[in-house]
Each structure stands twice: as structure tokens, then as C-alpha cells.
Structure 1
Amino acid sequence: MSGPHLMLPGADGRLHGFTPRAAPAPAPGGAARPRSRTAYAAAHVVADPLAGNAIGAPARLDWPATLAFRHHLWDLGLGVADAMDTAQRGMGLDWPATAELIRRSGAEAAARGALLCCGAGTDHLDPGAGTTPEEVAAAYTEQLETVEAAGAVPVLMASRHLAACARGPEDYAKVYGRLLEQVRAPVILHWLGTAFDPALAGYWGHGEPAEALDTVAGIIADNAAHVDGIKVSLLDADLEVRLREKLPAGVRLYTGDDFNYPELIEGDDRGHSDALLGVFAAIAPAAAAALRALDAGDTEGYRAALEPTVPLARHLFAAPTFYYKTGIAFLSWLNGHQPGFTMVGGLHSARDLVHLSQALRLADAAGVLTDPESAVARMRGLLEISGVRS
């Protein structure tokens, strides 16, 4: 075919030609886990296209496609972080569907000895419930039991209810201390910044994240035997490094910084971050290749694999950042991991065609389209039903 394969809308309101690169970057073979870093890809969920999945309706999942995507990540050697914000916790995935997801993913992980962590939070409470720290801790405990019963590593997700009722750092210390003294095995804490969820403003009892570093480090130090690590999603590399250097020996800092992940994971002579990233689900082959290069001491190969993915990541996670899930599902669809571009809660409408078109361009440049011609065909169909002749 001569000329551009597709005409994509741009920010200038005009159509621009797009021709994909000749071939995607090669995916690493085998399913060996990285040795030098612990790495989780936060997975999205696939909506059942035959169910309602309207805004405010109970979530109905395409279970075969949802679970197959987790196996895709495991096949590349990555761990899976499930039932977290990438899976639309608090944005369409209700607790009954979440609990079923945890149970099903836990069974799949156990069958193949795969690495799995799952979020435990308080989102099954009504907005007006959980008005005291004690009630919040009890709600956490209910979800924590579901995650532990599934055999997954629990992630104690940041709680909107705790942010609303806590009166200061001491309330956070009380709730997390109570939870950590009862866990069966070490867990992962989760610090989600306001770019991802504005309702979490003032988390840990401080107005500014920089003011909370000592509080967070102190809670972890007081309970270090029960903490595997903390995932930090502040999109601030300097703050992440400052917290990392305050952590007790043996406690990991899992970067959730989808802007600055290459340098944070690589680290320096002062330390490095491990990974628990939503963007890893979108760039899984490149992420796996980069980590294997790092295992081999090939820092140039590591950078060559990850650096081309950064423009894509920064685009997917652009403000309003909490809509990044739409881009993750879009790329999953382009790569053939799900039958349609639909999401629970109707969230597939959260990003416009200009944004999605740029995501396609950047995914191609990063080499993370597994079949560029198929991706072009799918995108052409989306453009046509949206009224764009490409």
C-alpha cells in the first residue's frame, strides 16, 4: 500500500496521515521473572460487551478476556497487580465484581505459581459510612480477608473514607498499625496522589506530600516486619527518592510514577525502586525486555527498551490523570487482547479521538503494537463509527 495507511485527527482539528512502522519491537521469550527488580503490571478489566456496564450500574466483566490478559502479563515474566485503580476501583468496578476478580485471579495465579498482589480498601462502604477510624479499619479488614483467602499479596489501598474522617497523622498510624498487626504475611502499602484521586488530598494527615514523608516512614518503621513495601504514585521523582532513603532495610519502594519510571527503576549507587505500574500493562513487552537487560547488567539495553515508551506513558497519564485507564483499555483492544473498546461504567468515553489517535502514534513509535496492521484496521473502524472518514 502506498501513502498513509490511516488519516488520524490531530489537535489542530485536521487529519494527518499515519503509517505504522514496519514491525513491532521483538517481545522477550519465556516467562522467567526478573531477578534484579520485583515488577508488577497493574492490570485493567475487560467489560462484557453484551452486558449493560452503564454509569452507576453493576460491573459485568468478560471473564475469559480479563483473565487471559493476566496470563499475557505472566507469560512475559511480570507480576500482576490486580483489583487496584487500574482495574477501575472507585470508577466503575464495584466490590462484588472486585471480590470475584480477586478470587478468580488468585486461582489462576496459584495454578501456575505466578506473582499476584491485589488491592484491599474500603470502597464497599457507602460514601457517608466509615465516619470513624475504627469503622474504616473494620472495612479494610473485610476486604483484606478476601485478598488473603485468594492467596495474593495484599495491597492496602489508600482510602477515601480514611482521608475524610482522619483528624491527623495519629489516626493514620492507628488504622495502619491495627491492620498490619493482624496480617498473615507482609503487605504492600499504597500512597496514591491527588492527580490519580482528588479525594485523597491530605493523606497521612498532612496538607503537602513532602510534609508526610516522616509520618509514612515512621508507620512503616514501627511495623517493618509486616511491610513488604510501599507503592508511591505521586508523579514526583524527588519525593519518591527521599522516601525511599527513609525506609527500613528490606522494605521496597515500588514506583507508581508513570512519568519517571525508567530512572527510578534503574536507580543509582544510593538505591533503586521496584515497580508496580499501570503503564507496564500497556508496554508489557518493552518492560519485560528492559528488566531482562537490567538483569544482565546491560543498562544501555535497558534504557533503549524503556526510554521510547516514556512519551506514550506521559500522554496516557496526562491530566486528568485518573482517566489513564481509558488509554490502557484502548491499547489492549488495539493489540487484540479484548474484542471491543468498551469499559465498565462507560469509561471508554473519557478520552476523545484526538487523544486516542495520539496514543496510537506513540504506541507505534514505542514498538508496543503487537500487530500494527490489525491495530490500524481496528482504529479505522472506531474512526468510521465516530464520523471520521480516514
Structure 2
Amino acid sequence: MISKCAYCEVNVSGNSEHVFPKSLGGQNIYMDCVCNQCNNNFSKSERELFQKSLVGLMRSIEGLEGYSKNKLRPAPLKFSEIFQLDIENQIVYEVGVHSAFKHYLRPQLIQVEDKIYAESGSYPEMENFVKIFNEWRKEDLVLITEFPSRNGEKYKCIQFVLHEDEFLIKKIELIKVKKEAIYYSLLKNNKKIAKHFMPRIFLDDSGKLIVRSRKVEEGIQFIIKLLTSIHKGKGQFKNFTDKNLNDPVHISMSFDVKMMQQALVKIGLNALMHYYPETKYNQLLRPAKNYALGGESIRAGLDIKVPILDNRQDIHSILFYQLNEGIMIRSALFGGSFTYKFLIENLFIFNQVGNVSGLIVDFKNSTQNHYIMDDFLFNLIRDTKIKE
């Protein structure tokens, strides 16, 4: 029998949604009641949780990568702004962080006073940067300055046009952009480094070229200066100076709190529906499902670390706890370093108030098991797991 998606209740169910996210070290166990469209929509809120929030920092420290593994820089931190301030020369560089705070210089072209310099952590990375930049220069010359905020809207872009040995700009709007297009990123309100910040173009961990500056016009003029230099045969850029990797690194964390919480609710619901399949289409879950899909808030919030529940640093756990008013679902990530709980009102999956069960995820070995009552608590406080 073909079943409908438990979330949208419109599309036919698929099998591509993980019970517990692969990006957090979950096992390859899939839901059978989530459609592909909802799965794709969930990826937006999951990015806020996995890449931009405190959880993203924990993932990098623990070396978790999911499917997308970076061979050169394992478990890169995907915060949008990570900088290093060269104190001696008062220059701010784009850097990356991977594998528990190992930082490295991203390949970049950066303006220092009236000149442009080339900087990188390694020669092969700079070669790759040059290759991607040249592909953009030959195939596209489009800078995306604003992304669509909703379906049907267009990308707002700047196109650079060569006219009589000078590059001019033309504002355009596009329905689709080529893969070679580069992105603009406005420096956020970072007072510590803003006064030293000069425009640059750099390569991020996903292989995308990004232009960053304090003002959009400043970034546009930098690209005009760069393209003009290359066009006139002055495209050999030198390093400014040897870099001192002991200088301080500045990390800016910016994320959508609501979307992060929607992802956490979705993770709890998936576990509940998988291990208690009779709840999949129970309408008491509808408020929480709607919230996971972007709807109105529910009774939920961050929780504190509880010693008896959160004393193992090598696991995530999801607790199902029967209260008088319904089921409380508590997710504890990285040994309780990040905890979140929400209530499914009037839902009873146990025959007695106070009963519990839970999912334990060994994120280092990508295994997960669901335990009832005493077995769940026992596995929270010991290193050797009991098999069901």
C-alpha cells in the first residue's frame, strides 16, 4: 500500500530521510514516511543547525562530516566569517578552521592599500583558485549580490562588461545563474576587524568564489580593479608577507534561531515515528510537524545538562519521557553539550507516567540503538552497550 508523507500529508512517501542525521554521525537508517520534497525542505533548517550554530563548531571538533568529506581539510567549520588579524601589518585574512581548531589560510586575492596580493595556505590550493577564477572570467563575469527570498523571484546581479579597455558594470536580474557565478558577502557588524578590513575574493571550502567587503560598491570596484589589472597584463600578484599563524582568529557565529529549532524538532519527531510507528499519522503530532515545516511555535526550548543523562561525551541521545500532559522529547547532542526539548501534548505511548525510552547514537562509530526504560539509562552511564 502506498502511504502519504507523514509531514505534508500530500506527497507519496520516499525513503531518503535519515531517522537520525548522517551529518551528526547517525547510522544509515531511513524513514519510510517522509517525501522527497519535505526531505529537501528540511535541508534548509538543518544547515542552520549543522553548519552555522554552536552544533557546527562541535561537529568540527569531533571530526563529523556526513556524506561530504573534505580530504584536504577534514571536518571544516562552515561559519560564514572566520578571519585572522595580522597584528603587525594590520591586515585581515580569510581563514578556515578544521579538525578541532586547526586553522589555515584560504586562497585569496586581497587589496592592501592600492595593490592586490595573492595569499594561500598551499600552492595547489592557489592553483585551484586561479583555475576557478579564470573559468569565471571567461564564461560568466557575473557577481550575485542578492539571492531570491522566495520562489519565483530573481537573482540580483552585477555583470562586468569590457568596453574599450575598461570594465563597466551592468545591473541585471536572472532566473538562473551559471555554476561559474561568484557570490558577494557583505562583512557583518564586526567592530574588532572592520577598520582593517579590505576587499577581497576568496575560495571557500565548497569551491565557491566569494567577494567580501564592508560595502557592496567597495567590492564591485575591487573586482573592476582586479579584472583591469589582468586585462592589461598585470596579473602577477605577489604575497604580501609571511603569515604568522599564531595571530588571533576571529569567528563570527550567525544563524536563524527558529530554523535551528525546527531542525531539532524534526530530529525528535523522526525518532519518535520510527521507533513508535503507530504515531506516524497521529494528529496530536500535527503542531510539532507544522513547526518543523516552518509553522507556528510549540512548547519547546533549550534544556540544561543533567548529570545522570549527559555523562557520556561520545554519544547523542533522544529521550522519550511520559508526562501527565503528554510525551516530552529531549535531544542531547555531544554528551549534553547542547540540549533541546519539546512536548507533544496529550500523547501517550507508555501505559504509565514516568516511563521512558530513548535512542542512543554513537556518533564516532555511526551506530544507533533504541532502548526501553532501565536499558536506556544503563547505556547512558556505561561504555559497553547492551544489544536489544
- The structure whose residues are more often strand, as a share, is 2
TM-score (norm 2): 0.32
Greater Rg by CA: 2
